[in-house]
Amino acid sequence: MFMGHFAMALGAKKYAPQVSLGILFLACQLADLIWPNLVLLGIEKLEIEPGVTVMTPLDFVHYPWSHSLLALLFWGVLFAGLYMALRHAGSRAAIVIGLLVLSHWLLDVLTHRPDMPVTLSDSSRIGFGLWNHPVLAVSVELLLFAAGVWLYTGSTRALNRKGSIGFWLLVVFLLFVYAANLLGPPPPSSAAVAWSAEALWLLVAWGFWVDRNRAPMLAKTH
């Protein structure tokens, strides 16, 4: 899952208008931001196995600290709690952030084969395997993304050209990265995958920048 995660963050803006899109990106992708570091440290394990699913050659051998339900519950509570404490935010913002962290697990369960850990042990792993059904998988990702973009543009307005053009460039860039991953050759090594996953930080930064140049739209009054 790729576009779907960003879709959740974009859509969440409507429910937590004061929270920057950068924070929302950080929350929805926290699992994939933690994961490459653990892979590079040798704590979590990834292998390249063409054919493991139809759409991706990535074999997620072991990743309980970044991708189990239990770990993401923990990271979600931690991130939401830190945000509340540091930004003096209300509980609504914290709940949205916590749910976004958790949403990563639910969406990954949809696309992954049964490799998503529930607890820190590898004994119970689930996944509905949409990655073996490309048309369905791509449709779900793009529909979610379209809904996210629609909610975000409906609940914020651009303050300047950075806020409008910068946002639409971000949308195009995400679509481009998704397509390149789907259509490109299998990556040369698990380390290469992990290093390129670190580029997610760029998208987080882009989210902060776009959001600074847009403002929440106030609910219409009569």
Where does this chain bind Zn ion (CB under 5 A)? 31-32, 108
Residue 46 C-beta: closest distance to Zn ion, Å: 11
Query: For residues 107-139, b (16+ Cβ closer than 10 Å) or e, as one string?
Result: bbbbbbbebbbbeeeeeebebebbbebeeebbe
Tokens linked to 21: 């899109």
32 versus 47: smaller Cβ distance to Zn ion: 32
* CB-neighbour burial class of residue 88 (10 A; exposed 0-12, middle 13-18, buried 19+): exposed
Whichever of 30 and 93 has its CB closer to Zn ion, that residue is 30
| 25/167 with CB nearer Zn ion | 25
Residue 9 or 89 having the CB closest to Zn ion: 9
Find the shortest distance in angstroms from Cβ 60 to Zn ion: 8
Question: Which residues are CB-neighbours of 200 under 8 A, at least 6 positions away?
Answer: 29, 32, 33
**210: number of CA atoms within 13 Å, CB side?**
25
CA separation for the pair 189, 192 (Å, rounded): 5
Shortest Å distance, C-beta 67 to Zn ion? 6
Nearest approach in angstroms of CB 218 to Zn ion is 35
Q: Which is nearer to Zn ion, 32 or 49 (CB)?
A: 32
Q: Give the pair of three-digit tokens for residue 213.
A: 């140049």
Contact 45/39 with Cβ under 8 angstroms?
yes
Shortest spacing between CB 204 and Zn ion, in angstroms: 15
